[in-house]
Amino acid sequence: MKKMACVLILTVMTAGVLAGCGQKKEGGTVSTDGSTSMEKVIGALGEAFEQDNEGVTFTYNPTGSGTGIQAVSEDRCDIGLSSRSLKDEEKAQGLTETVLAYDGIAVIVNPENPVSDLSLETIAGIYKGEITNWKDAGGENGEIVLIGREAGSGTRDGFESITKTEDACKYRQELTSTGDVITTVAGNPNAIGYASLASVAENVKAVSVNGVAPSEETVKDGSYVVQRPFVLVTKDDKKLSETARKFFDYVTSSDAADTISGAGVVPVK
């Protein structure tokens, strides 16, 4: 009787072990760090990747483009995220960029502001402090309050490069995230700022630039001129883990195009 009981217990234990092996999860992690402007698209991609890969953990640390580039350089994350192209000196440090998508940089004002279109030249004049009152830019009498991003921000780098205002902007406030810029402009009728088109909400108004409204279509056809790349940054001498490589391959494939478009940016593929 005891012998039969032992055999039965052993059989049950063996079946349990085999069942456990059959249910083994893949596991693994993918860590990303960088651009706050990429939060919506990278969040959507990370969520889709986790759903399709049981047991995998995806993380995103929204620190800004410059910090994300530094993080991957110092091996503190798998993939850096930048909303600007890498500089020559960064490439010389052994970093590689892969363009994930293109995003418009929306020039935003408070919804109460009647201005709906600005030329690139006027935007540059405003940010350089040459135009200081809205009545001189097609609006009502009121001192223009300049809101922008902090030094090292990919959005700031892209905006200043396109408007040719590098080192010349007269910011009232320099904020550390896209969300902070949007909230600040939403709360001040005389404010103007810039933010990722994918992040613009109904509490601010995106103006047309040179008569062209920012949209996925106008970014894609190039008619909206204030745009920049969303970039994945990797280190040349560091091989990605199996899970990180699988994520990289997924987000840069045509399979991810609908998810990227759904996040409001234009996929490369």
Measured over the CA atoms of residue 161, residue 165, residue 167 and residue 171, the dihedral's sign is negative
The mean pLDDT of 241-258, rounded to a whole number, is 97
Q: How far apart (Å, rounded) are the C-alpha atoms in residues 161 and 167?
A: 10
| Sequential DSSP letters for 83-142 | SSPPPHHHHHTTEEEEEEEEEEEEEEE-TT----EE-HHHHHHHHTTS--BGGGGTS-S-
The architecture of the domain spanning 29-102+230-267 is: 3-Layer(aba) Sandwich (3.40)
pLDDT at 135 over 80: yes
Between 259 and 152, the higher pLDDT residue? 259
Query: pTM here?
Result: 0.78
The mean pLDDT of 23-47, rounded to a whole number, is 88
Quick one: pLDDT at residue 13?
A: 43
Please tell me the least confidently modeled range out of 23-37, 115-129, 199-213.
23-37
Quick one: pLDDT at residue 21?
A: 40
144-195 residue pLDDT tens: 999 999 998 999 999 999 999 999 999 999 999 999 999 999 999 999 999 9
What is the bridge-based pairing of β-strands 95-109 and 191-196? antiparallel
Quick one: pLDDT at residue 26?
A: 59
- List the structure tokens of 268: 């490369």
Quick one: pLDDT at residue 69?
A: 97
For the chain, the average pLDDT equals 91
67-105 residue pLDDT tens: 999 999 999 999 999 999 999 999 999 999 999 999 999
3-state secondary structure of 47: helix
Percentage above 70 pLDDT, the chain: 90
104-227 CATH pick, 3.40.50.2300, 3.40.50.300, 3.40.50.1970, 3.40.190.10 = 3.40.190.10
pLDDT at 244 over 70: yes
Task: Identify which of 189, 196, 151, 142 has the alpha carbon closest to the alpha carbon of residue 169.
Answer: 151
Q: How far apart (Å, rounded) are the C-alpha atoms in residues 78 and 48?
A: 18
3-state secondary structure of 193: strand
Query: What type of residue is 242?
Result: E
The mean pLDDT of 116-143, rounded to a whole number, is 98
16-32 residue pLDDT tens: 444 444 443 457 999 99
Domain boundaries, the chain: 29-102+230-267, 104-227
Task: Give the Å distances, CA to CA, from 51 to 1, 58, 106, 197.
Answer: 49, 10, 32, 27
pLDDT at 63 over 80: yes
Quick one: pLDDT at residue 8?
A: 38
Quick one: pLDDT at residue 27?
A: 77
